[in-house]
């Protein structure tokens, strides 16, 4: 008798968190992607005995491949639907992390594209414990769901096994996936990453890949391929697609006064940042109750090099953008208290807010010298000197510790730097520069305390 999904997920955490996670897991893999996965597998293995799929869904990966036995794990019994599976295939309705398989010839599938913020707390804790016990890898708290499944796949395949998973292409470079990459590199397994077109998964805001990790090797080579659009792939010289290769990630030197930092994540921008109209409607005072903030640089021209009061008023305040951040570095005024008390519970029900003694209280950061967009479509991210002392929020990063003159010089350097060819694709033509890569830029562009406008 099938066990209900409520019983299977009872120990995962709050029902709302579990339902959100399950809802974001349940997306069918396009059949052409399933076919392409099997095509790539056949280039590496002519004979496959045992196959395991830890996110089986309706079992579509069981169709189209040659193997002796297929075992799929799927937490939701309702996902079975009408597909007629081969006699040699079966699906187990249970949590993938209850499995103790170690002898699979192949692990394949499309693990969930769920952000770390949306993982049920107890599911994450249990999955991390399983991974650490079976691989010795401590999973980062910033790891998204697919990383847990990728490590489970590696633990479940034989020493000469093969893993073939649909994963975000950015896993090849993002810091949050470093533990997975280090584990693979330590074991000297071959990796072949096939970048798919952005349109492959319309519901996922990331560039996807078909990644093959071959354990039957000691070379430890990494190769990259790009989708030609006709079911074939072309070779790429690097993960960025260019000869230049990736801008590496650096850590901030402890004694360096100039450094980069990601934008504030207040917990919920919806109510902790306000538009000008929202500020006026709630009678919140500038400087006393709220401070200027920037949550995006999209509205600013790429030629703009300084965020002045005039630019802020025109592009943010008068256009209805979220541009005011509540002050949390002082006792709230009666006006601000009144506003916070009126916020509906459903609008402040986030994992970050739930962990706080006071749901709205965060450490108010300093204002950066330069504001930098983390995402960009052109040759480089937008960057402006922060002439009005706005706080960087969300996708806007900051560079700190510069005098006004040095901020001008470094902003000029950022406006001619070539980033695009050295950043891994994110989604829909978008690139994202990470803080560690900005740190590398700072290291390379400061010489004797002065930035150089290099095009490196």
Same domain, 300 and 207: no
Q: Indicate whether 185 and 69 sit together in one domain.
A: yes
Task: Note whether residue 126 is domain-resident.
Answer: yes
Are 146 and 202 contacting, i.e. CB atoms less than 8 angstroms apart?
A: no
Q: Does 14 have pLDDT greater than 90?
A: no
54 inside domain: yes
Residues 279 and 427 in one domain: yes
User: Of 186, 188, 144, 184, which Cα lies nearest the Cα of 167?
Assistant: 144
- 30: tokens are 């396009």
Phi, psi of 270 (to 5 degrees): -55, -40
Are 299 and 386 in a shared domain?
yes
The tens digit of pLDDT for each residue in 407-430 reads: 999 999 999 998 988 998 877 678
Within a domain: residue 29?
Answer: yes
Q: Are residues 307 and 361 in the same domain?
A: yes
Cβ-based neighbour number of residue 405 at 10 Å: 9
437 neighbors 420 (Cβ within 8 angstroms): no
303 and 215 fall within a common domain? no
Structural domain count of the chain: 2
In-domain check, residue 247: no
CATH number at residue 19: 3.40.50.150
243 in a domain, yes or no?
Answer: no
Q: How many CA atoms lie within 13 A of 157 on its CB side?
A: 29
Classify residue 342 as exposed, middle or buried by CB count within 10 Å of its CB (0-12, 13-18, 19+).
Answer: exposed
Per-residue pLDDT band for 67 (boundaries 50, 70, 90) equals very high
The percent of residues in the chain predicted with pLDDT above 90, rounded, is 69
Selection from 342, 344, 404, 336 nearest residue 364 by Cα: 336
Q: What backbone torsions phi and psi does residue 255 show, to the nearest 5 degrees?
A: -100, 5
**Model pLDDT, residue 455:** 39
- The angle at the Cα of 386, spanning 382 to 387, to the nearest 5 degrees, equals 135
pTM score, two decimals? 0.79
Domain that holds residue 436: 259-451
Q: Do 58 and 174 fall into the same domain?
A: yes
**295 and 380 assigned to the same domain:** yes
pLDDT at 83 over 60: yes
Query: In terms of domains, do 63 and 187 share one?
Result: yes
100 and 197 together in one domain: yes
Question: Do the domain assignments include residue 338?
Answer: yes
Rounded distance between C-alpha atoms, residue 317 and residue 141, angstroms: 36
* 254 has pLDDT over 80: no
How many helical (H) and strand (E) elements, i.e. helices and strands, does the chain have? Answer: 13, 23
98 found inside a domain:
yes
244 in a domain, yes or no?
A: no
The helix (run of H) or strand (run of E) holding residue 323 is none
Question: Tens of pLDDT along 142-173?
Answer: 899 999 999 999 999 999 999 999 999 999 99
88 and 142 co-located in one domain: yes
The residue ranges of DSSP E strands in 20-103, in sequence order, are 50-53, 69-73, 89-92
As a whole number, the mean pLDDT across the chain is 90
Give me the pLDDT at residue 203, please: 54
Give the pair of three-digit tokens for residue 163.
């893993």
Same domain? 48 vs 176: yes
């Amino acid at each position: 008798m099938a066990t209900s999904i409520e019983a299977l997920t009872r120990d995962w955490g709050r029902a709302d968190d579990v339902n959100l996670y399950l809802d974001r897991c349940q997306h069918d893999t396009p059949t052409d992607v399933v076919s392409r996965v099997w095509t790539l597998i056949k280039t590496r293995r002519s004979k496959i005995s045992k196959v395991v799929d830890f996110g089986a869904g309706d079992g579509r990966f069981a169709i189209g491949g040659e193997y002796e036995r297929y075992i799929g794990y799927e937490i939701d019994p309702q996902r079975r639907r009408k597909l007629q599976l081969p006699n040699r295939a079966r699906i187990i309705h249970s949590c993938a992390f209850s499995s103790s398989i170690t002898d699979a010839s192949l692990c394949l599938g499309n693990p969930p594209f769920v952000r770390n913020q949306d993982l049920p707390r107890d599911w994450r804790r249990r999955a991390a414990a399983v991974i650490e016990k079976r691989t010795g890898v401590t999973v980062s708290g910033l790891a998204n769901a697919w990383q847990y499944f990728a490590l489970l796949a590696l633990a479940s395949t034989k020493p000469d096994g093969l893993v073939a998973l649909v994963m975000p292409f950015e896993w090849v470079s993002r810091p949050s996936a470093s533990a997975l990459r280090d584990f693979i590199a330590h074991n000297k397994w071959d990796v072949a990453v096939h970048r798919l077109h952005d349109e492959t998964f319309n519901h996922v805001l990331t560039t996807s890949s078909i990644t093959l990790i071959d354990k039957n090797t000691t070379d430890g080579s990494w190769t990259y391929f790009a989708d030609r659009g006709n079911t074939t792939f072309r070779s790429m010289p690097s993960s960025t697609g260019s000869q230049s290769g990736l801008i590496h990630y650096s850590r901030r030197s402890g004694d360096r006064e100039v450094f980069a930092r990601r934008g504030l994540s207040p917990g919920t921008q919806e109510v902790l940042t306000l538009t000008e109209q929202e500020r006026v409607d709630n009678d919140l005072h500038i400087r006393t109750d709220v401070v200027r903030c920037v949550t995006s640089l999209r509205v600013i021209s790429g030629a703009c090099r300084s965020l002045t009061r005039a630019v802020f008023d025109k592009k943010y305040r008068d256009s209805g953008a979220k541009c005011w951040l509540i002050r949390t570095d002082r006792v709230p005024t009666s006006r601000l208290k009144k506003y916070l008390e009126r916020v509906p519970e459903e609008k402040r029900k986030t994992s970050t807010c739930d962990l706080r003694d006071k749901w709205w209280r965060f450490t108010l950061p300093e204002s950066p010298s330069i504001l930098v967009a983390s995402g960009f479509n052109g040759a480089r991210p937008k960057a402006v000197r922060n002439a009005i002392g706005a706080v960087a929020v969300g996708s806007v990063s900051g560079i700190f510790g510069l005098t006004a003159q040095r901020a001008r010089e470094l902003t000029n350097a950022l406006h001619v730097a070539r980033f695009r060819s050295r950043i891994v694709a994110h989604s829909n033509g978008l690139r994202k520069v990470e803080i560690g890569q900005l740190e590398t830029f700072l290291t390379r562009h400061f010489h004797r305390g002065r930035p150089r406008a290099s095009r490196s």
